[in-house]
Structure 1
Amino acid sequence: MKISIIADEISQDPHAAVYIGSQMWNVNQYELRMIEGKRVPDIDDRQVAQLEVIKEKYDIVYSAIGAGLFKCEPDDSAIERQFERLDKAIQLAKRLDVRTITGFALQDAQTHRSKEFRDKMVPHFQKVCKRIQGEGLQFAVETEYMTGVETARDARELIDQVPGLKINWDPANAWVAGEHPLEGYPLIRDCIANVHCKDADSKAWRERNPFVAFGDGLVPWDEIIPLLLRDSSVQTLTVETHIGPLIPKSEKSVRRLRALIQSIKNNQLTIEKGGAQ
């Protein structure tokens, strides 16, 4: 199991982010989201060339492109503008050898995900999957509150209507939206392309930012990680710190995630050895 981190959770300067992450924290995979104030893929050729140089210099992998696609109002003109960004994301992914592009299932401020809303959403994501699969890539919709896919259950309903769609599972987002991760995981275990790791200490997300450093909250990661370690399709866990100050909080989150993974592996090994005696 590899640990990745969203690069701008360290710094929006990609060189600084990768230098700190790789040389100080031994992290060699990075999800791309924000660079120098711009959302990927809305970066210029100079910045793309810089990402190529960094990749070669530090021998790293870009694990996903967090393009923020389709986090927009559910009207046709707004959605069509996102398809233009999707094309840019595809070209960037091919240039940087990235397989996964992530996005969202439109904004749903009423959080009711009505049949009318879903009927509008489905054909757009069918079009997304057809476009992206033709390039040998995959599109993963993130579980995010106040969108059309808040929880794993929402994701399952959408996937059943959009073959080939994948999930960027964020258990903390689903948790603050009211779903326990152990109830959500079995519904989407066959279609997880990316996992975001952060923590939350409250479900009162309408009142304040509920997120805290990994291990400081209430999300049951000690129960989630063993499931993911047994899932051969999940190769990478991506730290999404989501709270400042970024560098110390990100370092703490990486360190705790790595320690939890190792502890679970050690415990499983002990159980296996004990059972073999």
Structure 2
Amino acid sequence: MFHISGFADELDRDFEKQMSIWHDMGLKYFELRSAWGINVMELSDDHIKKIKDISSQYGIKVSCIGSPIGKTYIEDDFSYELNRLDRAIFLAKYFGCSFVRVFSFYSKGNILEKREEVFKRLAKMAEIARESNIILLHENEHAIYGELSLQSREIAKELNSPNFGLVFDPANYSVAGEDVIEAEKNMHDYITYIHVKDYSIKEKIMKVPGEGDSNIKYVFNQHRDKDMFISMEPHLDIAGQFGGSTSPDKYRMAVESVKKMLNELNISWE
């Protein structure tokens, strides 16, 4: 079964408004990246209590802590990211979820020349996650070590940890110039979570899922027998380095398009 989640902060800065619209769309999970315009790593204890109270009132649960951990320079002091990882793990346990999103670092030079340090840091993070029974989800991103599918697979294969999996975001690979079908084949064995956004190569814009070139329906079908989250991140109005925005009407169109694809594939979902 697929469990539909998503980045509710694309809808509005106000968290209660996010949850109201989420509830209206019939969604049961969301990925916590920000609330009231505050990044998840900067939320106070008072903020997270309010988030838990509001989301519980709507019967909505957190699927993943959408942290920006690893979107920092490999040359920077690693203790900063270790402290953020401790906080992200605390948040995951507080909200009763198993996943924390991470990235594989930028560099002030060529990140591919920093392989040893990248892998050392990610292995340490995976070990901390193992001790806490949390799964780290690596997402590709422009200019980080794991930007391309073979690099992402290399990381997961090298770490060889049940506490480290890969997010597959079809549009990210389209933007990176990769064929999504080939990228999925490269990463297939390590894909643990799917982000859902679609990209038009010709127009160079994000599209409603299923209307672009990112072969989302194919990706769904390749993982049809898994019990996993698919997380909406449509970016239909703004797509940025640390997030995006999508109007409620467009977001509803994206969700309905995904539900339609799943129904056509006879994949059960909630």
Q: Same fold (TM over 0.5)?
A: yes
Q: Distance in 2 between matches of 1:46 and 1:153?
A: 41
Partner of 2:6: 5
**Aligned-partner residue type, residue 194 of structure 1:** Y
| Deviation at residue 80 of structure 1 after TM alignment | 2.5
**1:179-206: CA deviations, max 9, x gaps?**
22221223322322221100111279xx
Q: Does 1:137 align with 2:106?
A: no
CA contact (8 A) 2:198 2:207 kept: yes
Q: Distance in 1 between matches of 2:211 and 2:159?
A: 36
Query: 5 Å matches for 1:1-277?
Result: 1-22=2-23, 24-77=24-77, 79-108=78-107, 113-114=111-112, 116-164=113-161, 165-202=164-201, 210-230=205-225, 232=226, 234-244=227-237, 245-265=246-266
Q: Summarize the Cα distance change of 1:108–1:219 in structure 2 as closer, same or farther, 3 Å threshold.
A: farther
Q: Distance in 2 between matches of 1:249 and 1:99?
A: 29
CA contact (8 A) 1:145 1:174 kept: no
Paired residue secondary structure (1:236)? strand
Paired residue secondary structure (1:248)? helix
Partner of 1:274: none
Q: TM-score if structure 2 supplies the norm length? A: 0.88
**Aligned-partner residue type, residue 128 of structure 1:** M
CA contact (8 A) 1:197 1:237 kept: yes
Instruction: Tell me which structure has the larger Cα radius of gyration.
Output: 1
Query: RMSD in angstroms over aligned alpha carbons?
Result: 2.1
Paired residue secondary structure (1:27)? coil
Q: Distance in 2 between matches of 1:133 and 1:257?
A: 33
| Deviation at residue 26 of structure 1 after TM alignment | 0.6
**Aligned-partner residue type, residue 51 of structure 1:** I
Q: Distance in 1 between matches of 2:105 and 2:263?
A: 37
| Deviation at residue 249 of structure 1 after TM alignment | 1.9
| Deviation at residue 108 of structure 1 after TM alignment | 5.0
CA contact (8 A) 2:153 2:190 kept: no
Q: Greater RCO between the two (CA within 8 Å, min separation 6)? A: 2
| Deviation at residue 34 of structure 1 after TM alignment | 1.3
| Deviation at residue 109 of structure 1 after TM alignment | 7.6
CA contact (8 A) 1:2 1:235 kept: yes
CA contact (8 A) 2:106 2:143 kept: yes
Paired residue secondary structure (2:73)? coil
Paired residue secondary structure (1:67)? coil
What are structure 1's unaligned runs of at least 5 residues? 269-277
| Deviation at residue 12 of structure 1 after TM alignment | 2.5
CA contact (8 A) 2:75 2:107 kept: no
Paired residue secondary structure (2:51)? helix
Paired residue secondary structure (2:91)? helix
CA contact (8 A) 1:109 1:146 kept: no
Q: Distance in 2 between matches of 1:108 and 1:250?
A: 34
Q: Distance in 1 between matches of 2:145 and 2:221?
A: 28
Q: Distance in 1 between matches of 2:216 and 2:44?
A: 38
**1:73-107: CA deviations, max 9, x gaps?**
11142x32122111111111111101000011112
CA contact (8 A) 2:174 2:201 kept: no
**Aligned-partner residue type, residue 10 of structure 2:** E
Q: Summarize the Cα distance change of 1:240–1:14 in structure 2 as closer, same or farther, 3 Å threshold.
A: same
Paired residue secondary structure (2:255)? helix
How many residues align? The count is 257
Partner of 2:243: none
Structure 1's consecutive aligned runs of 4 or more residues displaced over 4 angstroms after TM superposition are none
| Deviation at residue 227 of structure 1 after TM alignment | 1.0
Q: Distance in 1 between matches of 2:212 and 2:107?
A: 26
**Aligned-partner residue type, residue 210 of structure 1:** I
Q: Distance in 1 between matches of 2:27 and 2:122?
A: 33
Q: Percent identity?
A: 23
Paired residue secondary structure (2:66)? strand
Q: Distance in 2 between matches of 1:106 and 1:210?
A: 25
**1:20-69: CA deviations, max 9, x gaps?**
111x2111110010111211121012211112212321222211011111
